[in-house]
Amino acid sequence: MSLYNIYGPAAVLDGSAVQAASEGSESNPGITWERARKTNIGIEAVLWKGLLRIEGDYFYEHRGNMLTSPTVVVPAEYGVGLSQVNAGEMENSGIDFNISSSYTFNKDLGVTLGTNFTFAKNKLVQVFESSVTYDNPNRRVTGRPLGTRFGYEALGYFQLEDFDESQNLRPGIATQPWGEVFPGDVRYRDVNGDGQIDNNDIVPIGVADIPQIIYGIFANVSYKRFSLDLLFQGAGKTNIYGSNGYWHPFNNGRGAYKSNMDYWTPENRNASHARITPSPTSNNNQMSSYLMFNSSYLRLKSLNLAYSIPEFISKKVALQNARVFVSGQNLLTFTPIINYDPEIINSQGLDYPQQRVISFGVNLTF
Q: How would you write the pLDDT of the chain (366 residues) with one tens digit per residue?
A: 888 899 888 999 999 999 999 888 888 999 999 999 999 999 999 999 889 999 999 999 999 999 998 988 888 888 888 889 999 999 999 999 999 999 999 989 999 999 999 999 999 999 999 999 999 999 999 999 999 999 999 999 999 999 999 889 999 999 999 999 999 999 999 999 999 999 999 999 998 888 999 999 999 999 998 999 999 999 999 988 887 778 888 888 888 889 999 999 999 999 999 999 998 899 999 999 999 999 999 999 999 999 988 877 766 766 777 889 999 999 999 999 888 888 886 666 677 888 999 999 988 888
pTM of the entire structure?
Answer: 0.84
CB 291, CB 243: distance < 8 Å: yes
Per DSSP, the chain holds a count of helices (H) and strands (E) of 2, 18
CB 297, CB 214: distance < 8 Å: no
Q: What is the pLDDT of residue 23?
A: 86
Q: How many Å apart are CA 330 and CA 156, to the nearest integer?
A: 35
The terminus-to-terminus CA distance of the chain in angstroms comes to 62
Q: How many Å apart are CA 120 and CA 96, to the nearest integer?
A: 8
CB 206, CB 237: distance < 8 Å: no
Identify which of 263, 270, 239 has the alpha carbon closest to the alpha carbon of residue 337.
239
Q: What is the pLDDT of residue 275?
A: 95
CB 162, CB 175: distance < 8 Å: no
From residue 29, how far is each of 2, 70, 75, 111, 240 by CA, in Å? 10, 15, 22, 60, 38
CB neighbours of 171 closer than 8 A, spacing ≥ 6? Answer: none
Q: How many Å apart are CA 47 and CA 53, to the nearest integer?
A: 6
Q: What is the pLDDT of residue 323?
A: 86
Q: Residue 8: left (phi > 0), alpha (psi -120 to 50), or beta?
A: left
CB neighbours of 291 closer than 8 A, spacing ≥ 6? Answer: 241, 242, 243, 247, 285
CB neighbours of 207 closer than 8 A, spacing ≥ 6? Answer: 145, 147, 148, 149, 237, 238, 239
Phi and psi, residue 133, nearest 5°? -95, -40
